[in-house]
Amino acid sequence: MASPLLINVAELLRRAGSVREVDRRIDVDAFNFDDPRMVANSQVEIGLTLEALTDGIVVHGRLCADWVSECRRCLRQLSGRSETEVQELYQAVVIDPDAYPIVGEQLDLLEMVRENLLLAVPVAPLCTVDCPGLCSQCGADLQTTKCGCSNKIADERWAALDLLKIDESRPTTE
Ligand SMILES: [Zn+2]
Ligand SMILES: [Zn+2]
């Protein structure tokens, strides 16, 4: 299937300094993210400026996409919208190792947008910065429940640390 973000840049390539705007809303399915964080049936928002240089086209602007995830401590469902600024280079003869190719006076924004959005959506978010998470003993959500095992766990942790200290202070025999 042809990329929905294939842009003809013949005009741009003719004159360094010329500019073209690309503002689109593309269905998330077009990107084949294969990533559970990307929201099915949502729209990816693309607001990019293409600017012709002597040795390529610089693409800069803003990308937005919806995401879903869960708090890494308490597993609460979280969702949001990520916004990211991008600046990427396209070249007909790829010299810059980070540049994307211009093929037959066309450039494809799809892979570039895809890669940048995957970096923009959170990997392991928290519901709140100080989320206490789940009790490791009984599984209670410590944000809403006082389960009573927390003290015991803390005591066990201190006891384990005390044991370590004893080991360290022990003289080595070899
Ligand atoms: Zn949480
Ligand atoms: Zn507990």
- What is the per-residue pLDDT for 91? 97
Q: How far is the CA of 61 from the centre of ligand 1 (A)?
A: 32
Ligand number, closest to the Cα atom of 154: 2
Q: How far is CA 116 from the centre of its chain?
A: 7
Ligand number, closest to the Cα atom of 127: 1
For every residue of 21-47, DSSP letters joined together read EEEEEEEGGGG----TTBPTT-EEEEE
Q: How far is the CA of 81 from the centre of ligand 1 (A)?
A: 18
Q: How far is the CA of 127 from the centre of ligand 2 (A)?
A: 20
Percent of the chain whose predicted confidence (pLDDT) is above 90: 80
Question: At residue 50, does pLDDT exceed 90?
Answer: yes
